[in-house]
């Protein structure tokens, strides 16, 4: 196992325990809880919370300080998947090889589960073992990254861009919001918890921006070249929806070059930020080379 694999196997279980216990302890109708747990347990790579914790680990702090914020971030990611999959949005029946939340629980419960996960995430940050000043900073960053100026705005732009021919700039702007901002949050929140200064936080955000773009390019490539069983949804779904993607705009070869470029940039920034950035280098590699 490389450095990241060792780190991930421990931290993923802790993140999942935190997520599950936060939901199980809620006093709320059983069906709502069941639906929240269903999507939170549906797995996934937990890349966002792992990134947050990897930053804390890299800067020599106790990852426990970031566990609740990491779980909060994964809750927001999960809520966004539940809402994005709804019939009026992307209308997806499968997510990670399993029926989507509304296919199992119905649309009303799926909408409410998403709302509840989003709301709970802010309570989790408040419950973190960090100073009030850091909590306030992280909550402001999280709301901004997840909201109208971040992820929700990106989803809106994505819906508007469906069936339209986007330029590379437009495509990149959608992805910066839809995927990029939460990854930036992950890195910067890890930095805040580690007590880093503004210059270091800026570098962490730049690193995250590059791996965010790499993440999305890889996603678009997998939709063409991926293995249906591994990615857990049908191959070619972007094309059948006439969605603009990196391969559709740049061609496959240039898309792969661009992926490699962002990976190189991410590594450069890391070398400038820290003497032993192995964990964060591995994470960038994982994103660029993942099979699902």
Provide Rg for the chain, Cα atoms. 18
3-to-13, 36, 140 alpha-carbon distances in Å: 16, 32, 32
When asked if residue 114 is in the footprint of a second copy (CB under 8 A), the reply is yes
Distance CA 202, CA 270 (A): 12
When asked if residue 37 is in the footprint of a second copy (CB under 8 A), the reply is no
Segment interacting with a second copy (CB under 8 A) among 23-31, 192-200, 206-214, 250-258: 23-31
Sequence-separated (6 or more) residues with CB below 8 Å from residue 152: 146
The correct pick among 5, 148, 227, 268 for binding a second copy (CB under 8 A) is 148
Least distance between a second copy and beta carbon 174 (Å): 10
Least distance between a second copy and beta carbon 94 (Å): 19
**Site residue total, a second copy (CB under 8 A):** 49
When asked if residue 133 is in the footprint of a second copy (CB under 8 A), the reply is yes
The correct pick among 88, 197, 240, 275 for binding a second copy (CB under 8 A) is 88
Provide the 10 A C-beta neighbour count for residue 51.
28
When asked if residue 164 is in the footprint of a second copy (CB under 8 A), the reply is no
Residue length, the chain? Answer: 292
The correct pick among 3, 12, 14, 33 for binding a second copy (CB under 8 A) is 33
Ramachandran assignment for 257, one of left (phi > 0), alpha (psi -120 to 50 degrees), beta (any other): alpha
Sequence-separated (6 or more) residues with CB below 8 Å from residue 261: none
Least distance between a second copy and beta carbon 164 (Å): 13
When asked if residue 120 is in the footprint of a second copy (CB under 8 A), the reply is yes
When asked if residue 139 is in the footprint of a second copy (CB under 8 A), the reply is yes
Distance CA 4, CA 54 (A): 9
The correct pick among 116, 166, 206, 287 for binding a second copy (CB under 8 A) is 116
The correct pick among 71, 73, 111, 171 for binding a second copy (CB under 8 A) is 111
Listed residue (89, 124, 109) closest to 39, CA to CA: 109
Provide the 10 A C-beta neighbour count for residue 91.
12
What are the φ and ψ backbone dihedral angles of 95, each rounded to 5 degrees? -145, 120
Binding mask 238-277 for a second copy (x = CB under 8 A): ----------------------------------------
Q: Is 232 helix (H, G, I), strand (E, B) or coil?
A: coil
Segment interacting with a second copy (CB under 8 A) among 1-9, 46-54, 112-120, 277-285: 112-120
- Of all helices (H) and strands (E), which one includes residue 99? strand 98-99
Instruction: Using CB under 8 A, list all residues that contact a second copy.
Output: 26-29, 31-33, 36, 79, 83, 86, 88-89, 106-109, 111-112, 114-116, 118-120, 122-123, 126-127, 132-133, 135-136, 139-140, 142-144, 146-149, 152-153, 155-157, 159-160
């Amino acid at each position: 196992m490389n450095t990241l694999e060792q780190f991930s196997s421990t931290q993923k279980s802790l993140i999942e325990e935190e997520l599950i216990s936060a939901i199980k302890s809620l006093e709320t109708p059983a069906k709502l809880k069941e639906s929240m747990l269903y999507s939170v347990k549906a797995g996934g790579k937990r890349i966002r919370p792992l990134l947050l914790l990897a930053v804390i680990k890299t800067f020599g702090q106790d990852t426990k300080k970031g566990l609740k914020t990491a779980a909060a971030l994964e809750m927001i990611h999960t809520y966004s998947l539940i809402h994005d999959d709804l019939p009026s949005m992307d209308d997806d029946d499968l997510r990670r090889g399993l029926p989507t939340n509304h296919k199992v629980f119905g649309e009303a419960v799926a909408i409410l589960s998403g709302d509840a996960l989003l709301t709970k995430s802010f309570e989790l940050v408040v419950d973190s073992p960090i100073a009030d000043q850091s909590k306030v900073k992280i909550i402001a960053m999280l709301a901004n990254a997840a909201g109208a100026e971040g992820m929700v705005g990106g989803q809106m732009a994505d819906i508007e861009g469906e069936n339209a021919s986007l330029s590379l700039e437009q495509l990149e702007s959608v992805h910066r919001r839809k995927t990029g901002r939460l990854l930036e949050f992950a890195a910067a929140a890890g930095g805040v918890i580690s007590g880093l200064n503004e210059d270091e936080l800026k570098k962490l955000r730049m690193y995250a921006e590059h791996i965010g773009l790499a993440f999305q390019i890889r996603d678009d490539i997998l939709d063409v070249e991926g293995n249906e069983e591994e990615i857990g949804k049908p191959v070619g779904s972007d094309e059948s929806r006439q969605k603009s993607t990196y391969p559709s705009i740049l061609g496959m070869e240039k898309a792969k070059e661009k992926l490699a470029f962002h990976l190189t940039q991410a590594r450069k920034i890391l070398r400038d930020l820290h003497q032993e950035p192995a964990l964060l280098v591995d994470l960038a590699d994982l994103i660029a080379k993942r099979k699902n």
